[in-house]
């Protein structure tokens, strides 16, 4: 996580000065003068989180210069096998974004579908074949 922290913290050193130069050259244009330094703040928060996380966890194989490919073998996370809930959630998101172009009434259709999809995805390991 040290490399990721350095990468994001370097973004602060780029975005904040660029935002200040942009503000000076654009004579204080409101949106860009505020947004570019705020992006620097956002990448700073992410980099700070990664730096704190790097102190708490052990060194990963990705952080070791002399690590072998086999060092990263094994489980990489918990994934939901044969899950249809992401498709339901994506359909609800597509309906919601289509509602921005077509009409706000589509949001009333997309919201319940999205809630059902999100609840189903969160609790899919609580029932059925893959229950824990």
The predicted-structure confidence for 76-131, as pLDDT tens digits, reads as follows 777 777 888 999 999 999 999 999 999 989 999 999 999 999 999 888 877 766 66
Residues 54 and 93 in one domain: no
CB-count burial class (<10 Å; 0-12, 13-18, 19+) for 15: buried
Residues 42 and 100 in one domain: no
Residues 8 and 58 in one domain: yes
Locate 26 and state its tokens: 């654009």
Q: Is position 42 within any domain?
A: yes
Q: Select from 122, 120, 121, 93 the least CA-distant residue to 109.
A: 93
Q: Is position 22 within any domain?
A: yes
Residues 94 and 38 in one domain: no
Q: What is the pTM of this model?
A: 0.57
Q: Select from 4, 8, 9, 2 the least CA-distant residue to 58.
A: 2
The predicted-structure confidence for 7-47, as pLDDT tens digits, reads as follows 999 999 999 999 999 999 999 899 999 999 999 999 999 99
Identify the residue whose tokens are 């994934």: 79
d(CA 65, CA 46): 24
Residues 68 and 90 in one domain: no
Burial state string for 82-92 with b = 16 or more CB within 10 A and e = fewer than 16: eeebeebbeeb
Residues 66 and 11 in one domain: yes
Tally the domains of the chain: 2
Structural domain for 61, as ranges: 2-72
Q: Is position 122 within any domain?
A: yes
Residues 126 and 104 in one domain: yes
Residues 8 and 53 in one domain: yes
Question: What is the predicted pLDDT for the residue at 61?
Answer: 80
Residues 30 and 65 in one domain: yes
Q: Decide: 81 and 63 in contact? Cβ < 8 Å.
A: no
Residues 96 and 44 in one domain: no
Domain end (from 72, 98, 116):
72
Question: What is the predicted pLDDT for the residue at 33?
Answer: 92
Q: Is position 77 within any domain?
A: no
Locate 47 and state its tokens: 């980099």
């Amino acid at each position: 996580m040290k490399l990721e922290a350095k990468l994001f913290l370097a973004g602060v050193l780029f975005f904040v000065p660029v935002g200040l130069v942009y503000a000076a050259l654009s004579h204080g244009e409101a949106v860009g003068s505020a947004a570019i330094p705020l992006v620097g703040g956002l990448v700073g928060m992410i980099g700070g989180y990664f730096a704190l996380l790097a102190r708490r966890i052990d060194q990963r194989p990705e952080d070791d210069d002399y690590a072998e490919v086999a060092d990263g073998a094994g489980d990489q996370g918990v994934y939901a096998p044969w899950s249809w809930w992401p498709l339901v959630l994506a359909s609800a998101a597509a309906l919601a974004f289509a509602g921005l172009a077509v009409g706000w009434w589509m949001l009333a259709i997309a919201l319940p579908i999205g809630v059902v999809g999100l609840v189903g995805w969160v609790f899919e390991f609580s029932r059925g074949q893959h229950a824990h």
